[in-house]
Structure 1
Amino acid sequence: MSYENWKDKTADFEKIDVRQLQGNFFPGLKKKAESLKAGEGLVIIQRFEPHPLYEVFEKMGFEYHTEEIAENEFHAFFYRTEVIAGDDDTGPFRPIALLNYPLIDEDLGKIAVDFWNVTWKSKKRSLPYEMRLLLSLTNAAGAGRMRQASRELIKAYACGVDTAVFDDIFELLAWNQGIGYFSSEIGPSALFQAYKMIKAGEKRGKSRKEILDSLTEKFGEKNPEVGVQ
């Protein structure tokens, strides 16, 4: 099915204008989308094209079509063609930090979202997504950005990266950054605490989903060491 098959139904879609909302409004949007039946839809109005939402909505059985109505005004139409169960695995930490940029400048907000889309979602990329997360993790840790490194670690684990890979990464961090830096900066960080939670959970025989639930609860957006809003 394509937009041409359901465009006549868009007049009945509920409109949700998120341009003035601050903080993480994604859970609310997702809950609203989950409540829709096949054959129903909604319109999300944003200052920029909402690339981060496309994959999430597709996993729930939605098709989408986006139009630039005016400068800094995009209408994204989402139409549910089927109700797909088991859509909870959308990955932790959506890029909500991007919402900060339009507060500074509308054009900057659009540039930031487009930059994110090219970096993380473009089919031109050669490295697998999981590998790019691990590179981002190590780059962030090396630069002292433990907040970012923690988020990348949890996202990588959600994507199925084996814990033994994290063992190698922390060993290399100790080698490249030095024992002193590792002991004083990495060891006490949220990054290493998340790693230890994964190791402890697996040792106790917990499933990956159970461990991810615990990680999300402890290291979610409300955690000041990890959150970006």
Structure 2
Amino acid sequence: MNWSDKKSGFEVIDVRKAVGNFLPGFLRKAASINSGEGICVVQSFEPVPLYSAMSDLGFQHETEKAGETEYRVYFYRTEVKEPEYAGGGDMPLKPTAILNFKSIDDKLADIVVNFWDLVWNGEEPAIDMKTRLLLSLANGVGAGRFRQATRELVKAWSAGVTVAELDELFTLLVWNGGIGTFASEIGPSPLFGAYRMIKSMDSAGKSRNDIMAELLEKFGNRNPEVKVNQ
């Protein structure tokens, strides 16, 4: 029997009117599902960021557009996979701010999600993920968006960036932004705090996963300077 034949029996979770970031709770629930079982998510736009997160947990998916503002995504767990990124699970700090766009218009949210998918999940990208995250970090700094830059740093560490690479990046930030800008803007920022913590823990011999856990604790969604409100 094809697993699609079982989907009518999947538990349905409708998040169209969910307030706040439902993703962490949903992923915890998904992680508890056994192989050979599934779950269905209902959203007002196609929830593309969920696909990679669920795939990393061992789920396949099938998407149906049930209406103009109703997408039903059926996830079926075929295996329990080892996490791809440091710290376990899918890449951290998903772009949950996309949910803000559906407060304006569901079609706008759908456009934004698909643009995000084009940028970050394109087939056979010429630039590897780690480098793209560092470029996005630098762009965030240049635009004065330290919240974005800090989130990209956390994701880049998860994707395998090294301390040596971060050292060179921050040297370039001093070069391009100037000493004054670095001293008054970058130095006091959560971005630089996260970088200093990585260096300190790495020099103390801590593992990448240990550093990742501490980054998420201190520079993840619990930090008001890093959290993106939905």
Q: Normalising by structure 1, report the TM-score.
A: 0.95
Per-residue CA deviation, residues 50-79 of structure 1 (Å, 9 max, x unaligned), is: 111111111211110001000011000001
Aligned Cα RMSD in Å?
1.3
Alignment map for 1:94-109 (pairs within 5 Å): 94-109=94-109
Are 1:90 and 2:51 counterparts? no
Q: Which residue pairs with 1:55 in the alignment?
A: 52
Q: Which residue pairs with 1:11 in the alignment?
A: 8
Q: Which residue pairs with 2:76 in the alignment?
A: 79
**Range moving further from structure 2, 146-155 or 22-31:** 22-31
Aligned partners of 1:138 and 1:27: how far apart in 2? Answer: 27
1:38 deviates by 1.4
Please, which runs of 5 or more residues in structure 2 have no aligned partner?
none
Please, which runs of 5 or more residues in structure 1 have no aligned partner?
none
Aligned partners of 1:69 and 1:9: how far apart in 2? Answer: 18
SS in 2 for 1:69: strand
Aligned partners of 1:144 and 1:220: how far apart in 2? Answer: 19
Aligned partners of 1:120 and 1:103: how far apart in 2? Answer: 23
SS in 2 for 1:205: coil
SS in 2 for 1:79: strand
Aligned partners of 1:95 and 1:107: how far apart in 2? Answer: 17
Sequence identity (%): 50
1:208 deviates by 0.7
Aligned partners of 2:185 and 2:106: how far apart in 1? Answer: 36
**Range moving further from structure 2, 208-217 or 81-90:** 81-90
SS in 2 for 1:23: coil
Per-residue CA deviation, residues 84-142 of structure 1 (Å, 9 max, x unaligned), is: 35572312101111111001111111111011000100115321111111110111101
Aligned partners of 2:182 and 2:124: how far apart in 1? Answer: 35
Q: Which residue pairs with 1:196 in the alignment?
A: 196
| Paired AA for residue 24 in structure 1 | N
SS in 1 for 2:126: coil
SS in 1 for 2:117: helix
Q: Which residue pairs with 1:130 in the alignment?
A: 130
- Asked if the contact 1:38–1:81 (Cα under 8 Å) also holds between the matched residues in 2, the reply is yes
Q: Which residue pairs with 1:154 in the alignment?
A: 154
Q: Normalising by structure 2, report the TM-score.
A: 0.95
| Paired AA for residue 13 in structure 1 | F
